[in-house]
Structure 1
Amino acid sequence: MAKVIASSSQLDFSLSELESMPLPEKVLLVKPTYFTVEYVINPHMEGHIGDVDKLAAQNEWDHLKSAYDELGYYTHVVEGQRGYPDMVFCANQSFPNITKDGKKQVIMSVMHARERQGEVPFIRKVYEESSYEILYLDESKFNSFEGMGDALWHHKKRLIWGGYGFRTSKEVYEPISDLFDTPVIALELTDERFYHLDTCLCILDEATALIYPKAFTDEGIELIESIFENVIEASKYEAEKLFACNATCPDGKNVFIQQGCVDVNHKLKEAGFKVHEYSTYEFLKSGGSVFCMKMLLW
């Protein structure tokens, strides 16, 4: 079912009608050996050039890796590369898929920022060694697509949520929908502080999402509320300063989230989720947190 939906009036299906998908069982992580802030490509980086405590960053990363180990995920760790300090945010360089017959595919990103474009070939090697069919976008037509920073799978359903406006072109979702034979709900992002969809939308389970509403248009909010039965809202402070919506819920039960999101954590617990807090303060200086720092794979 290939189509791109940009308004609730275009919705002609319910979740129950969509094909089910298995949850990923593997986690890709990139070591933060060379992580630092060397340039400014988003508002969160301003004032933080040379300000990263590398030992603290390594400790934060180690604790987050342990969290996936404890949940029983296989963690595939890749070395960072000198000259690419943001490669640790490995949600951005690709967008993986599994077909209904179990075939693994991946679309490689076209990074918007020149500083990050060289990360993609290193991540492509992981897929080459993991039996994935590697797909490419026509870069003469689309100048930016930043993987699972902007393209998110619905929980256990063949449905893609696609953000656009800052790092990804809206037009890219038509070929992605065709390549994966999957509908895409396209959401325009309106605030440069929430430059990726994964900074303002966290899909928790099939029926529940965590959002920062002011990062979307009214039309976008209507689309989100048309699909999700339960929409949890983060405050401006917790969404912007603590990246609350950059949490991840890999199994639909356990939520990994930046430390200190008191209001959101209370709402998550009330909704029946188990909350695990992790410090990602060093990574926040570069505009990323828990979701950005991993890629879930089949």
Structure 2
Amino acid sequence: MSTSTARVRQHRTYLMCRPDHFTVSYSINPWMEPATPTDTAKAVRQWQTLYDAYVAAGHEVHLIDPVPGLPDMVYTANGGFTIDGVAYGPRFRFPERAGEEQPFLDWFAAHGFETVVPTQTNEGEGDFLLVGDAILAGTGFRSTGDSHREVAEVFGREVVSLTLVDPRFYHLDTALAVLDPVEGPGGVERATIAYLPGAFDARSQGILAERFPDAIRVADADGDAFGLNAASDGLDVFVSPRAHGFAAQLHERGYHPVPLDLSELLLGGGGIKCCTLELRIGRQNP
């Protein structure tokens, strides 16, 4: 039986980075194979379709300049985490990405954010997702548990720690998508998320089942297609075209799936959400 609900598109502000220097020259996740050729021009074309789709939906998109020698900078979700005009910067696990830290911190500072330099290893919105007045926080492969404590201190929010166990889903945003965050106090109980159960340990699966009983549980095939690395504005869900089952689930719930192919960027282990950092400038608690 359909559980379709009338959905409302909510304005979003995003930070993106053109993949002008995209290539796969090292391997820091199971998706990256340096021996497989990459096509930078194709990556740029696919990225442009995502950018254009956001603009067409009425969203505001800011750009950070790509830096030569930093091919993963296109994955801006890892470049920080913002709430209420405060930007918590990244501290990458792998040295190959450490050069991205200062450009993101500089961008935040130049654009009026109160910028916090982290002391703990974290990879931004790749592992931190805002739901209601709580932060879902991933660990297991990249961001550390100590960063969960630090982000709680920075933002004064409840942090719900979730442990990832499948190396293919090394960031939280590859295994869980926030479809409707319902921002503000009490919102976490009314928010809608989707997740891949097998990407989490048993404790985390229990937490998600208890806190989000109406969540969309996505099949393994759709998770394997990077379907959960999706961006939602509350109505439109920008999603991998290969996640057919997930798209049907979204449609049943009243969302509008917008399929976009970022297959070239997936060679670096990133998809739609990885290329999208949400900028939350105003107050999130009404």
Question: Is the structural similarity TM-score above 0.5?
Answer: yes
For 2:4, the equivalent position in structure 1 comes to none
Deviations 1:206-242 (A, max 9, x none): 43211111011121112112222422122222212x2
SS in 2 for 1:267: helix
Deviation at 1:286, TM superposition (A): 0.8
Deviation at 1:79, TM superposition (A): 2.1
Structure 2 residue 182 is matched with structure 1 residue 198: no
Structure 2 counterpart of 1:267, from 238, 249, 253: 249
For 1:254, the equivalent position in structure 2 comes to 236
For 1:85, the equivalent position in structure 2 comes to 71
For 2:215, the equivalent position in structure 1 comes to 231
Distance in 2 separating the partners of 1:225 and 1:183: 18
For 2:94, the equivalent position in structure 1 comes to 113
For 1:159, the equivalent position in structure 2 comes to 134
**Which structure 2 segments of 5+ residues have no match?**
1-9, 183-190, 282-286
Q: TM-score, normalised by structure 1?
A: 0.85
The answer as to whether partners of 2:91 and 2:123 remain within 8 angstroms in 1 is yes
Structure 2 residue 203 is matched with structure 1 residue 219: yes
Distance in 1 separating the partners of 2:179 and 2:217: 13
User: In structure 2, what residue type is equivalent to 1:193?
Assistant: R
**Which structure 1 segments of 5+ residues have no match?**
1-22, 99-103
The answer as to whether partners of 1:39 and 1:49 remain within 8 angstroms in 2 is no
SS in 1 for 2:206: helix
Distance in 2 separating the partners of 1:132 and 1:111: 20
The answer as to whether partners of 2:139 and 2:164 remain within 8 angstroms in 1 is yes
Find runs of 4+ consecutive structure 1 residues off by over 4 angstroms: none
Distance in 1 separating the partners of 2:88 and 2:64: 19
Structure 2 residue 123 is matched with structure 1 residue 146: yes
Alignment of 1:39-54 (within 5 A): 39-46=26-33, 48-49=34-35, 51-54=37-40
The answer as to whether partners of 2:136 and 2:162 remain within 8 angstroms in 1 is yes
Deviations 1:119-141 (A, max 9, x none): 11111222112111111222xxx
CA 1:24–1:159 in structure 2 vs 1: closer, same or farther (change >3 Å)? Answer: farther
Distance in 2 separating the partners of 1:58 and 1:182: 37
Structure 2 residue 22 is matched with structure 1 residue 35: yes
For 2:13, the equivalent position in structure 1 comes to 26
Q: TM-score, normalised by structure 2?
A: 0.88
Structure 1 counterpart of 2:157, from 174, 182, 189: 182
Aligned sequence identity (%): 31
User: In structure 2, what residue type is equivalent to 1:228?
Assistant: F
Distance in 1 separating the partners of 2:170 and 2:21: 23
For 1:55, the equivalent position in structure 2 comes to 41
